[in-house]
Amino acid sequence: MNKHYTDLANGVKMLCINSEKFKTNCVKVDFYMPINEYFPALNVLASFMGHTSKKYNTVKKFNSKVEGMYDAYFDVSISTIGEKVLIRFTMEVLDDKFTLDGNKISEEAIDFLVQVISNPNCTDEGFDEEFTTREIRFTLENIEALKNDKRAYSVARLRQLMCKDEPYGIDHEKLEKEVKKLDSKALLSAYNFMISQATVVITACGSISANMLTEKFKNFVQSIENREPAKLETIFITKADEIRYFTEEMEVNQAKLVMGLRAGMQNNNDNYYAFRVMTDIFGGGPYSRLFTNVREKMSLCYYCGARLVREKGIILVQSGIEEENYEKAVNEIFNQLDIMKNGEFTDDEFNSSVIALSDAFKGVEDSPSALCNFYTAQVFDEELVSGSEFAERISQVTREQVTECAQKVSVDTVYLLKGEGAK
């Protein structure tokens, strides 16, 4: 495969991973932007553009077109990667060699993808009013649904409280209020911001023609006037000054304990492989310290795990507990972190983690979508590595490196979501 994304235009990169082993082709077009005042409207915009376009201006026409391409898969999603907003357009379609009469379905799918991105259902005055009202309602329902998913809600609140003065600390109550104020003109402004100032990353996997992709996306990008990508930056705070504790009450059956740890990373590549192994031994699989001790041996929680947010240099610890076990659980999680800092994890735990992570990344080539996701996650890295190369680098991590990474970790925020009226 190519070892780098090629530049198609200012702030537009493309990688085409050629493979004949899949029955489908996958193309992902990613728009990366800073988290700023457009964030509420971008949430609605992503939903809007996943359901309609100027050419296919009803849900029925839009869905019929997608289904007519051998029941292709199309989706538009929004997420945050560190302190970047990501709007992703995904198209998966049957490979041409499996179509009837040799139909060039891949090119048809790319034409659809380009026209959805370049010709939304709007005029110079704003986006379609009826769809705007509908998509604002959908977005508000999704924000409200977060409150019903207590596990996800507790993580969102931890993130907000821990990173209150950072773009990463998204306030969902404020987001909800801002979404309610939106109108069709606000969506048009957000779209123009996305088209003119986003860093665009196109990733394709399968037997799809790289030349065809290049031609179609170059034509689209070159039609955009005064395109100047916005600067993308993320604040990395390497050490917590103190541990902050927060408790909130809500109607819950099971208390949620979430901790935010500063990993000590200065950027997303800082000792990444060693940090990945360290976090996995601490709270990754069933062999991890948190699982075997806090959950299994001490029975202090229903689940307990940790994950590294590489793009922000944060480790999140999540646990479901009985409220009366709060102090014991917190103290034991702290204790397990100290064990990591002292290098007192076992060789079996270390080896199990290295093997599990290596095997996981050797398997990224099992589907075109997974392969695209794997490489898009590296788009801002200095180099691209394959799944097998990633596994090799994991296998080169030493116990000493893991201990050194653990020693850089500091606890920033402890958040408890407990039942109303609980002591």
Task: Kindly report, residue by residue over 260-311, the tens digit of the pLDDT.
Answer: 999 999 999 999 999 999 999 999 989 999 999 999 999 999 999 999 999 9
Query: The tokens of 286 are what?
Result: 């069933």
**In a 3-state reduction of DSSP, which class is residue 224?**
coil
Is residue 336 classed exposed, middle or buried when 0-12, 13-18 and 19+ CB atoms within 10 A define those classes?
A: buried
* Burial grade of 405 (CB within 10 A; 0-12, 13-18, 19 or more): buried
Classify residue 270 as exposed, middle or buried by CB count within 10 Å of its CB (0-12, 13-18, 19+): middle
Residue 221 scores a pLDDT above 90: no
CA angle 31, 35, 36 (to 5 degrees): 115
Q: Is it the case that residue 244 has pLDDT exceeding 60?
A: yes
**What's residue 100's pLDDT?**
83
Beta pairing class for 303-309 and 314-321: antiparallel
The residue extents of the domains of the chain are: 6-222, 244-419
Task: Kindly tell me if the per-residue pLDDT of 200 is higher than 80.
Answer: yes
Overall average pLDDT of the 346-370 stretch: 93
Q: How confident is the model at residue 122 (pLDDT cuts 50, 70, 90)?
A: very high
Nearest alpha-carbon partner for 158 in 408, 340, 413: 413
Query: How much of the chain, in percent, has pLDDT values that exceed 70?
Result: 99
**Amino acid 93: pLDDT:** 96
34-68 pLDDT, tens digit per residue, is: 999 999 999 999 999 999 999 999 999 999 999 99
6-222 matches 244-419 in fold: yes
Q: With 0-12 CB in 10 A as exposed, 13-18 as middle and 19+ as buried, what is 131?
A: buried
Please state, in angstroms and as integers, the Cα–Cα distance from residue 113 to each residue in 21, 261, 413, following that order: 23, 40, 42
Find residue 248's DSSP bridge partners. Answer: 417
Q: What percent of the chain has pLDDT over 90?
A: 88
pLDDT of 104 strictly over 90: no
* Superfamily name and number for 6-222: Metalloenzyme, LuxS/M16 peptidase-like (3.30.830.10)
pTM, two decimals, is 0.95
| Residue 256 DSSP SS3 | strand
> 19: which 2 tokens?
């493979």
For residue 290, give both structure tokens: 């948190």
What the block records as the tokens of 97 is 């060699």
Give residue 1's pLDDT band: very low, low, confident or very high (50, 70, 90): very low
Residue 221 has, within 13 A of its CA and on its CB side, a CA count of 25
Mean of all residue pLDDT scores within the chain: 95
Averaged over 221-241, what is the pLDDT? Answer: 93
Give CATH for domain 244-419.
3.30.830.10
pLDDT band at 3 (very low <50, low <70, confident <90, very high): low
User: Model confidence at 2, in pLDDT bands (50, 70, 90)?
Assistant: very low
More confident residue, 363 or 105: 105
The distance from CA 406 to its chain's CA centroid, rounded to whole angstroms, is 24
**What pLDDT, on the 0 to 100 scale, is given for residue 185?**
98
- Partners of 200 in the β-ladder: 12, 31
